[in-house]
Structure 1
Amino acid sequence: MRTIMYGSKICPDSRNMLELFEKNDIMVDFRDITADIAHLKAFINLREGNPVFDKARLTNKIGIPFFILPDGTQTIDEAQALFELMKGGNEK
């Protein structure tokens, strides 16, 4: 399974991660929540009640970029996602 990344091209953090992935030849399934209502609905369903987003909710943030790694791990921790993908944890 390829890593899924929910984000938005108007979000600086999402854009930065996409640039890092491109520079390092890392393929992700990018789902832009501001360009496709189906992606937004899926993201909202994933976010609701998910403890991964607790800190984001407390600080009034959306919680993107959000990653679902090939092993099923869900995270909004960009460093964790990048580390896992750089060590080869992604199907190209």
Structure 2
Amino acid sequence: KGHQLLCDTFAALCKAGVAKDWELWIAGTGELHEAVMNSPSGRHERIRHLGFVQAPDMPDVMAQCGVFVLPSTFEPWGVVVHEHAAAGFPLVLSDAVGAGERFL
């Protein structure tokens, strides 16, 4: 769902010195999780793979983050977009996220 591109881009931004103080946290699992996690950029020292986060624990995770990124290559709606928007997060969404049109 675009996570490999996100990891590649993040690693490139770190290498270029743009993301000096950034960390990338990836929550969730899925069919491509292992491939992304084991890729060179997915193993970057400033990328944290959180795995599945239980709903009661998500507010604590969100409280430590500054922006929400959904790089999906196909996401007709994406409830997580609404959850993070309601929590006041800046949103970075791919143009394939249908819910993103509501936040323009």
Same fold? TM cut 0.5: no
- Flag the structure with more relative contact order, 1 or 2, with Cα contacts below 8 A and sequence separation at least 6: 1
Given the two structures, how large is their TM-score scaled by the length of structure 2? 0.32
Given the two structures, how large is their TM-score scaled by the length of structure 1? 0.35
